[in-house]
Structure 1
Amino acid sequence: MLLKFAFQDFIEDRKFRNTTSVNIQNHKVLLGGFIDYCILNEVINVEDVSSGHVKSFLMSCQEKGNGASTINTKLQKIRAFLNYMVEEGMIKENPAKKVKRLKEDVKINVFTDEQIQQMLGYYRGLKRREKSYFAYRGYMMIVTLLGTGIRRKEIINLKWSDVDLTNLTLFVFGKNRRRETVLMTEKLVKELSAYSLFCQRHFKTLGEYVFVDSKNNSMTDNSIMLVFQNLQKKMNFSDVRVSPHTFRHTFCHRMAMSGMSAFAIQKMMRHENIAVTMRYVAMWGNDLKEQNDKFNPLNTLDI
């Protein structure tokens, strides 16, 4: 089968499987680069793709400055494509399975208390001076992300009907497309209640979605990206990216540092596999050492 048609067939299959538009676009860009590379090097049919072609493509990406994380992501997309070709009977085995992932220097940045206060202070100031909806929305987004650790797509799709202020819970559709329960604290419920009243006064009616645009319609991937890009420019943090995922990492980090068990963190983060949770916990080993050095009971004993 011609590679270009196999690629098109794969994309159509992802759409049929209800893959998100973001992932579809990632497949088109990251996997599309590999398809173009193969065709340029006269590998026209999917049956002709070898592990050597996969390696040489990834090496060329490395030479262009791609880091280990990007290389591994591209390899993941290539493997998914070739696995699909195996499923469809186009090839007998996946040649990309023989290509090993690169070792990554894993470091996940999180916000400090000072940075969190700076961001909240920025929106508090706007709320006092302008009393604009965008100031209230920005403040409430940060508080919600920090208080629940929900994902970018989940906060975009969050509806008021999903918010149970009485039982202190949120309902979201997670990564696996299942309806999941997220716990809230009384502090977050108080903030959401005040925000709800402001929205009713500002728009004259409470819309369907919790976070909306100027016309009371749901936000898009692009509009929420612009919110955090603007906040990044205002804060000018040099060591951490301002994004919904950084807030999620911060949420996880604070739970790990508080001494919460890995099992409980897994449930709070809604990780399907506890191995994912353990990777996060292991990353903050240095922080745990600092906490142990500071608070170990032996510090107060005269021995």
Structure 2
Amino acid sequence: MASIEMMEKEFLAEKRFEGLTENSLTSYVNFFKTWNEWLAHEGIERVDQLNPRVTKKFLMWCTEERQNKPKTVNTKLKLMRAFARWLTDECITDELFTKGVKMKKEDDSPKILQDKDLQDVLRHLRRQFRREHLFTARRNYVIILTLAGTGMRLSELCSLRWNDIDFDSYLIMIRTSKSRKTQSVPLSEDLKRELLDYQDYLKSKLQRLPDSVFVTKEGKGLTKDSVQNVFKRLRASIGIEGYFSPHTLRNYFIKSVLKNGLNLRQAQLLARHSKIDVTRQYVGYFAHELKESLDEANPLRGLL
């Protein structure tokens, strides 16, 4: 019977041929690395040794030993299901080794970033740059503003190039969106000014303008892990007790546009949600703050 690692290589080659995105391929590669290490420890090498019991045991190990959250465990199960389905489609195995394995229940409510925490982060970075002239402080400041001001996803931020930004038309082109279609988000006057200032800073600091918008001191584009680490360090340095991550800034953006009076359809278009039901959920999540906005703009004020 074929080895698991050999079948993984064939699976990845076929998915690459089918046009799977590089991000998705990387997700499989990273998952297979963790899974293979666990399989080796368990003495499992061949595909005929895979079964639902082995799958459950691995996912339990991820939960208990690696402290993976339900969402992470479910992502791994989705990857395993795709691989298991491919094995049966290719007649390499008779049954799905993920058969009957259920997803873990997730808390799907968005993580809320407090206004004060965001203000503290921006104030900290401004002070750091003013006192120490740190390249990272200047760059990270614009990263935070870009995420909060556009609702971009982390992968989209890391893939952003200067030629994706049309300053004249006030548009940012998203060429690696979740839907795999080229999309665009509007560029506000404030963010345009910050990005142009940052662009001038890069030119003077690096003696050239790199292709990527957000780069290291050497001019290399940032990876998703490096941006995640930026957030972790800021959270620890400032002592933020609540949620603070790239995705919380996307939630912050959606909450802000709803709070400031945009309707659901407008918010859906700006957030680039494929279904308006996804956007509608945010109304419930932020109901308290949205009510405060209604109270301030109460159409009955002065009538009663």
Tell me which interval the TM-score lies in, with the shorter structure as reference length: 0.7 to 0.9
The residue that corresponds to 1:6 in the other structure is 7
**Which digits, 9 at most, give the CA deviation of each residue in 1:239-293, with x for residues without a partner?**
213x3222122212323444534433332222334444445554x0xx3146437
TM-score (norm 1): 0.81
Q: CA shift at 1:157, angstroms?
A: 2.2
Question: Given that residues 260 and 293 in structure 2 are in contact (C-alpha distance below 8 angstroms), is that contact kept between their aligned partners in structure 1?
Answer: no
Distance 1:24 1:92 in 2: 22
Identity level (%) = 28
Q: 1:225 to 1:74 in 2, by over 3 A?
A: closer
Letter in 2 for 1:239: G
Distance 1:299 1:33 in 2: 64
The residue that corresponds to 2:72 in the other structure is 70
Q: Which runs of 5+ in 1 are unaligned?
A: none
Asked whether 1:212 is paired with 2:215, we answer yes
Map 1:74-93; keep pairs closer than 5 Å: 74-91=76-93
2:27 to 23, 30, 33: 23
Distance 1:7 1:117 in 2: 46
TM-score (norm 2): 0.80
Secondary structure of the residue aligned to 1:98 is coil
1:229 to 221, 228, 232: 232
The residue that corresponds to 1:268 in the other structure is 270
The residue that corresponds to 2:291 in the other structure is 292
2:145 to 126, 138, 143: 143
The residue that corresponds to 1:191 in the other structure is 194
**Which digits, 9 at most, give the CA deviation of each residue in 1:154-179, with x for residues without a partner?**
22222211111111101122124332
Superposition CA RMSD, Å: 3.3
1:103 to 102, 105, 116: 105
Give the count of matched residue pairs: 296
Question: Given that residues 133 and 199 in structure 1 are in contact (C-alpha distance below 8 angstroms), is that contact kept between their aligned partners in structure 2?
Answer: no
Q: 1:301 to 1:99 in 2, by over 3 A?
A: farther
**Which digits, 9 at most, give the CA deviation of each residue in 1:90-121, with x for residues without a partner?**
34553535333232233432221111110110
Distance 2:139 2:30 in 1: 29
Letter in 2 for 1:72: N
Map 1:38-187; keep pairs closer than 5 Å: 40=43, 44-46=46-48, 49-59=50-60, 61-62=62-63, 64=65, 66-91=68-93, 94=96, 96-173=98-175, 174-187=177-190
Q: Which runs of 5+ in 2 are unaligned?
A: none
Distance 1:85 1:215 in 2: 43
Q: 1:246 to 1:291 in 2, by over 3 A?
A: closer
